[in-house]
Structure 1
């Protein structure tokens, strides 16, 4: 997700949700703890009051069959809330489960309220006041999708008006006044809910912008070195160890970059960096691989679940793309550029203790310098071996992938022979 792309944070004016499905899902996950806490409190609070107001049924109707029916309805509200809380405990990370519990509580609560109004029609004005409060709860206090909350609130309001007209003894003017007040309550509730939903999403966008700035390089938009060491690489290594998958580091260094700066100036050098960074990001898997600006003209790619052959194929595509797509700059014109690559693959199904962040980066960097010494615009590769860990990197089993050699394939055969 790129916070610099306005389309990813565009909000649908009707649903008041992010148009981008992935962005909306990330927003919901971000607010999941807050939503769960708010839902717990509201369900318990409303259930307690629903049960407590059973005393008003007794006061209005006395002890009898109707009072028992209404008590069963009030108990159903409490049971729905308790079952919803148990579901949330088991499905605490499910966004859909939270929406389901919220919607079920709203539907059951409003249906029970309609039942109460049906059997106690002489108190329509008081019921209208209660409905206004319940509408505010549905719109603002129960965390749910706005389109669902709006549908439930409008349906409940319509059902109440129909029951009031059918069972109540209101005059025409009283019925009109009550309907207008309920319309006003819905309008205020909807406006408040829309404002809250939009404010939460604006806050989320601002937070993502700040996070983007803290973990990204301001010039190229790639991840920065701090994020690599503090979060990205430790997380990827832990995931590869846990899943016993391959993990590959690719170090890419722009050839003769100092000469570009000295010849064309630093602004042109920045344009070259931005151009190559864009190529690297466009040609790697989004949300799977990561591109890091590791040094001045050096990039580090973290390729998840990628073995040596796959990484070499990716590195060759990147090397060829850099050669075939020179940087076009307004003042300096077309600037041909090449890059050298060091590729280190680690099989965590056999790697044990030596594959640390520091040792892996050092090994990949050493492979890069081997590629530089081999004449640049080339790739040097190696597969991590615990047996070689702790010794000089040159002791690692290596094979050279010479991008200029006509017999550079098959890669796997070359690697097996070198082993």
Structure 2
């Protein structure tokens, strides 16, 4: 499936941002370090040049009141930049802080520039050239939302033209030419900015596609075993241990799957796997629980903040949903299947450090084999309170009916 067609990656054509606020925030966080570095460089560069050009104020205006006012304005640009550099380091919400600093720097910089134009009207053509450069900086080099950058650039252009007309130092034909050049600079900057914003988001979308491929099983779209061991299980164990929550592991195995393949063919077997995977995902909590294809016809589920009672309820729902929803294969045949479950609930408010990833999987797997040995289409549950090292206490043992036939 083309990720462009996925709603979370759809791009708004006007704002050039992802329509999904969650996706846009993730994109901004992904580029945060690069955006910070770009903003730092631009703030330092602009501050230095604003202050360095103060000597041109003295050359044109001499040592007087107007030159002093412009120097104060230039210092204000440098102070705004310095405060911005501090803010982007300490801001708790880095994305909003980044946009605030970028917008403030643009507004203060452009306001000071208009002040320079007002006091030095004889150089308006040169100022027009400078504004063209500044517009490109606003559109491309200062990381900000495109809609904000566009508003500041257009407002600055309009203000400059009004000052030029008010001062009347440029003939009407020259003002028209200068206005057209500024319009061209805005158009070029906007087109380039739109292209960059789209390219960055296209790049991010492709990166997320590749990441999903590396995390997901290609057949069932469940998480794969590598992601379970590298990320999911260590993260959930650490979180449960930190907050002293329950964590339940459910191991699910399709009963007599080899017989399904032998009877109906491997393509039909794959259809059964995809169907059961969809049942597992639909019955568990999205963005909370994790469904992993652990290998072959075996799945592993992680249920955070779920105790023994809740885990047994979920397992029973899964068992009945699988048994009650036959798979329709490509030939239109109805294929009935059942599954067995091993459910291990761990209370991390009492367990010790002896509880490891390997020990949890081994204990849950042992429960699965008990369920299969009891006749399949059944559930074996155990609570592992860990009151002492290595202690395992059987609390819940549930056996359900065998599969029909």
TM-score by length of 2: 0.95
The question of whether the paired residues in 1 share the 8 Å contact of 2:275 and 2:327 is answered with yes
SS at the partner of 2:40? Answer: helix
Q: 2:54 — aligned with what?
A: 54
Q: Cα distance, 1:330 vs. partner?
A: 2.8
Q: Cα distance, 1:350 vs. partner?
A: 1.2
Q: What is the distance in 2 between the residues matched to 1:308 and 1:72?
A: 69
The question of whether the paired residues in 2 share the 8 Å contact of 1:381 and 1:398 is answered with yes
Whether 1:320 aligns to 2:320 is yes
Q: What is the distance in 2 between the residues matched to 1:200 and 1:140?
A: 12
Q: What is the distance in 1 between the residues matched to 2:5 and 2:192?
A: 28
Q: 1:401 aligned to 362, 373, 398, which one?
A: 398
Q: 1:408 — aligned with what?
A: none
Q: 1:245 — aligned with what?
A: 245
Q: Cα distance, 1:151 vs. partner?
A: 0.7
5 and 190 in structure 1: CA distance in 2 versus 1, 3 angstrom threshold: closer
Q: What is the distance in 1 between the residues matched to 2:46 and 2:220?
A: 52
Q: Cα distance, 1:396 vs. partner?
A: 3.7
The question of whether the paired residues in 2 share the 8 Å contact of 1:344 and 1:364 is answered with yes
Q: 1:145 — aligned with what?
A: 145
The question of whether the paired residues in 1 share the 8 Å contact of 2:329 and 2:335 is answered with yes
Matches within 5 A, 1:236-385: 236-385=236-385
Q: Cα distance, 1:292 vs. partner?
A: 0.5
Q: What is the distance in 1 between the residues matched to 2:291 and 2:176?
A: 64
Summarize deviations over 1:358-410 as a string: whole Å, max 9, x none.
Answer: 0001111111111112222222111123357547xxx54242123449xxxxx
Q: Cα distance, 1:202 vs. partner?
A: 1.0
Summarize deviations over 1:272-313 as a string: whole Å, max 9, x none.
Answer: 111111121122222221111001001111112222222222
The question of whether the paired residues in 2 share the 8 Å contact of 1:339 and 1:377 is answered with yes
The question of whether the paired residues in 1 share the 8 Å contact of 2:350 and 2:387 is answered with no
The question of whether the paired residues in 1 share the 8 Å contact of 2:383 and 2:395 is answered with yes
Summarize deviations over 1:149-190 as a string: whole Å, max 9, x none.
Answer: 111111111111111111131111111100000000001101
The question of whether the paired residues in 2 share the 8 Å contact of 1:3 and 1:212 is answered with no
Q: What is the distance in 2 between the residues matched to 1:168 and 1:314?
A: 78
Structure 1: which 5+ runs fail to align? Answer: 406-419
Q: What is the distance in 2 between the residues matched to 1:283 and 1:137?
A: 51
SS at the partner of 2:227? Answer: helix
Give the number of equivalent residue pairs.
Answer: 401
Q: What is the distance in 2 between the residues matched to 1:89 and 1:270?
A: 51
Q: Cα distance, 1:214 vs. partner?
A: 1.1
Q: Cα distance, 1:92 vs. partner?
A: 6.1
SS at the partner of 1:401? Answer: coil
Structure 2: which 5+ runs fail to align? Answer: none
Summarize deviations over 1:52-110 as a string: whole Å, max 9, x none.
Answer: 11111111111112111111111111111111111111126521111111111111111
Matches within 5 A, 1:11-90: 11-90=11-90
Q: What is the distance in 1 between the residues matched to 2:355 and 2:304?
A: 15
SS at the partner of 1:349? Answer: coil
Q: What is the distance in 2 between the residues matched to 1:325 and 1:5?
A: 30
Backbone CA RMSD of aligned residues? 1.8
SS at the partner of 1:294? Answer: strand
Q: What is the distance in 1 between the residues matched to 2:374 and 2:332?
A: 29
SS at the partner of 1:11? Answer: coil
Q: What is the distance in 2 between the residues matched to 1:230 and 1:4?
A: 29
The question of whether the paired residues in 2 share the 8 Å contact of 1:264 and 1:332 is answered with no
Q: What is the distance in 2 between the residues matched to 1:360 and 1:81?
A: 53
The question of whether the paired residues in 2 share the 8 Å contact of 1:234 and 1:357 is answered with yes
TM-score by length of 1: 0.92
Summarize deviations over 1:104-132 as a string: whole Å, max 9, x none.
Answer: 11111111111111111111011111101
389 and 279 in structure 1: CA distance in 2 versus 1, 3 angstrom threshold: farther
Q: What is the distance in 1 between the residues matched to 2:164 and 2:362?
A: 78
SS at the partner of 1:381? Answer: strand
Greater alpha carbon shift after TM alignment, 75-84 vs 312-321: 312-321
Q: What is the distance in 1 between the residues matched to 2:185 and 2:92?
A: 33
The question of whether the paired residues in 1 share the 8 Å contact of 2:268 and 2:330 is answered with no
Q: What is the distance in 2 between the residues matched to 1:284 and 1:128?
A: 62
